[in-house]
Chains A and B, each alone.
Chain A
Amino acid sequence: MGDVLVTQILIPQWQLIATTSWPVLITLAGFVIGLWVYRRSGNASPFHPLMIATPLIYLFLQWIELDFERYYAGSGLVNWLLGPATVALAVPLSQQLRQLPALFRPLSIALLAGGLFATLSALLMVKLFGLDDRILLSLAAKSVTSPIAIGLVQQIGGITSLLAVATMVTGLAGIIMAQTIFRITEVEDERWQGLILGVTAHAIGTAKAFETSPRCGAFATLGMGLNGIWTSLFLPVAVVYFIN
Chain B
Amino acid sequence: MKKLLVGVLILVIFQWLGEFAAALLGINLPGQLLGMIFLLLVLSFNTSLLSWLESASSQLIRYIALLFVPVTTGAFFLAPAITGQFPKIVIILVVSTMLAQWFMGLIIKRVSNHSG
Interface residues of A (CB under 8 A from B): 1, 4-5, 8-10, 27-28, 30-31, 34, 48-50, 53-55, 57-58, 61, 68, 71-72, 75, 78-79, 81-95, 97, 103, 105-106, 109-110, 113-114, 117-118, 121-122, 125-126, 129, 131, 134-135, 139, 142-143, 146-148, 150-152, 154-155, 159-162, 164-166, 168-170, 173-174, 177-178, 181-182, 184-187, 189, 192, 195-196, 199-201, 203, 228-229, 232-233, 236
| Contact B101 A200, beta carbon cutoff 8 Å | yes
Task: Decide yes or no: A148 and B30 within 8 Å by CB, A48-B65, A84-B15, A135-B82 being known contacts.
Answer: yes
Give Cα A121 to B104, complex, Å: 13
Indicate the size class of the contact surface on chain B: 35 or more
| Contact A31 B69, beta carbon cutoff 8 Å | yes
| Contact B104 A105, beta carbon cutoff 8 Å | no
Give Cα A66 to B14, complex, Å: 35
- Which residues of chain B have C-beta atoms less than 8 A from A1's C-beta? 24
- Which residues of chain A have C-beta atoms less than 8 A from B71's C-beta? 72, 79, 150, 160-161, 164
Distance in Å from the Cβ of A55 to the closest Cβ of chain B? 7
Of the listed residues B12, B43, B75, B115, the one surrounded by the most CB atoms of chain A closer than 10 A to its CB is B75
